[in-house]
Structure 1
Amino acid sequence: MKVEFELWHLVLLLMAFFGCVGTFGKVLLAQFEARLDERFNGLEDGHTKALEVERQLLIFKAELPLQYVRREDYVRNQTVIEAKLDAVASKIENLQLKTKGVS
């Protein structure tokens, strides 16, 4: 059994083969590009979320001094209030002693 190909058959087969290879490559590149687009979109979404978290953190840092009193500040203010109460108590005590001494 003998198979004979003429030149135009061979050229046609080669063109069909390279056409299939080209189409396969084109499809493969399209899938690769689609996958890259998905990854970039995911990265962009992550970056957007990170920026949102950073913005919320900055807002929180700006509001924190308005909503929070440090322990040292609270102790200092309590000490001042207690000293004033002690001063008022001693004045009342002195006033009571004076009124007892006058009577």
Structure 2
Amino acid sequence: MTVQLELWHLITLLLMFLGFCFAAGKLLVSQFERQIDVRFDAQAVRLAEIEKANKDDSSHWQRVERELMGLKAELPISYVRRDDYIRGQSVLEAKLDGLATKIENAQLRGLFARQGAAE
């Protein structure tokens, strides 16, 4: 049994083989493209989620900054420095000492007046 191939048979077989290779390559490329598209879509969804999270974080940080500015505005009203407190206490103590001296003087005058009246 002998098989005879003519040139046009070989050319036809070669063209069929090349056509098969081209179709298989095209199928592989289309599958790769589909997978890449799916990955890009997933990346786009993730990126959108990250952007939304960033916007939420940004709004939270803006709220924190506003609260901090409010605290900075309230702080001088409700906070007394140590030096100011000591100065205020010194003034009060000096006034109390002056009042105590006046009371002692009044008591001594009353005591001397009683002793002078008793004699």
Normalised to the residue count of structure 1, the TM-score between the two structures is 0.74
SS in 2 for 1:69: coil
Which protein is bigger by CA-based radius of gyration?
2
Aligned letter for 2:52? N
Q: From 48, 59, 62, give the equivalent of 2:70.
A: 59
SS in 2 for 1:5: helix
Deviation at 1:72, TM superposition (A): 1.6
How far apart, CA to CA, are the structure 1 residues paired with 2:48 and 2:94?
Answer: 68
Other-structure match for 2:4: none
How far apart, CA to CA, are the structure 2 residues paired with 1:78 and 1:58?
Answer: 31
RMSD across aligned C-alpha pairs, in angstroms? 2.7
Q: From 59, 65, 68, give the equivalent of 1:48.
A: 59
Deviation at 1:56, TM superposition (A): 1.3
Deviation at 1:99, TM superposition (A): 2.1
Other-structure match for 1:95: 106
Aligned letter for 2:91? V
Amino-acid identity (%): 35
Normalised to the residue count of structure 2, the TM-score between the two structures is 0.66
**Residues 23-54 of structure 1: CA distance to partner in whole angstroms, max 9, x if unpaired?**
33322211111111122222222222221211
Task: Return 70-79 or 22-31, whichever deviates more.
Answer: 22-31
Aligned letter for 1:28? R
- Gaps of at least 5 residues in structure 2 are 1-12, 115-119
**Residues 63-92 of structure 1: CA distance to partner in whole angstroms, max 9, x if unpaired?**
222332222221111111110000111111
Q: Does 1:70 align with 2:70?
A: no
- Gaps of at least 5 residues in structure 1 are none
Task: Return 17-26 or 85-94, whichever deviates more.
Answer: 17-26
Tell me which stretches of 4 or more aligned residues in structure 1 moved more than 4 Å: 6-18
